Amino acid sequence: MPVSDPLSPPAPSTTNPLTEIYRDDWLLAVHKPAGLLVHRSPIDRHETEFALQYARALNGGEHVYPLHRLDRPTSGLLVFARDPATASTLGKALMAGEMQKTYLAMVRGWTAEEGLIDHPLREHATDRRDKDEQPLREALTRYRRLATTEIPVAIEGYPASRYSLVELQPETGRKHQLRRHMQHISHPIIGDTNYGRTRHNHYFAERFGHGRLMLAATGLAFRHPASGALLQLRAAPEASFLQVLSIFGAALPALDGR
């Protein structure tokens, strides 16, 4: 059974950074900005603000239960169950691969039009001092190219630099799967400080006045736990994400979250 979180609600004067996307008697869906942790983490012990406590505030102070995770630097759609039974039902659906997640990412280079990345990954140990090698686990990601651009800026020795906007759909749920898979096919995500290219990250941070991971959760589809009807949730990328995508100009498709 899900365990209720130990977080206390944020102070009443604090502006809630979450944007409500959908609500019914069973579910609460929000947009999480980049930089906000979903819940308390042993790696970031000093942090005091979490999406979980802000979602609780939106839920009238009642407990909520996160159905999935988003890395701290990833923005986008985050869904909570409003009761333990719903959390249990949808948790099983997630483990069974019955939820389809969709992300947008801006990556270095021009990708193929579409593809399947079939590359097993090892789970990272929570404690980095643990040197025991983790076993390889199946990891699958589908991608589809939405747009390409080339800017007349020499970043890594070439006279111009190329980028793609891609739609990503993970079919498994390994830690940092999308970020590691895009690195594996030599198209790392812009702003990724762990698996990306430092010079490209620095260029965009300087050009736009902020550095961010160019990865956003934009869609989640699953069967509603009460009705069984297909529920398709969408969240448009936040302003800081769209600002960087301005380099695509007229080639950028509509990204309104519908």
- Cβ count near 64 (within 10 Å): 26
User: What tokens appear for 64 in the block?
Assistant: 């909520």
User: What tokens appear for 113 in the block?
Assistant: 């039009």
Report the distance separating Cα 79 and Cα 55, nearest Å.
10
Residue type, 82: R
The conformational region for residue 61 under phi > 0 = left, psi -120 to 50 = alpha, else beta, is left
Residue 88: strand, helix, or coil: helix
Burial class (CB in 10 A: 0-12, 13-18, 19+), 83: middle
Is residue 132 among the annotated active site residues? no
User: What tokens appear for 175 in the block?
Assistant: 């830690």
Of residues 25, 71, 83, 256, which has the active-site annotation? 71
List the one residue out of 256, 246, 231 whose CA is nearest residue 24: 231
Q: Let me know how many helices (H) and strands (E) the chain has, helices first.
A: 5, 12
Report the catalytic residues.
Answer: 71
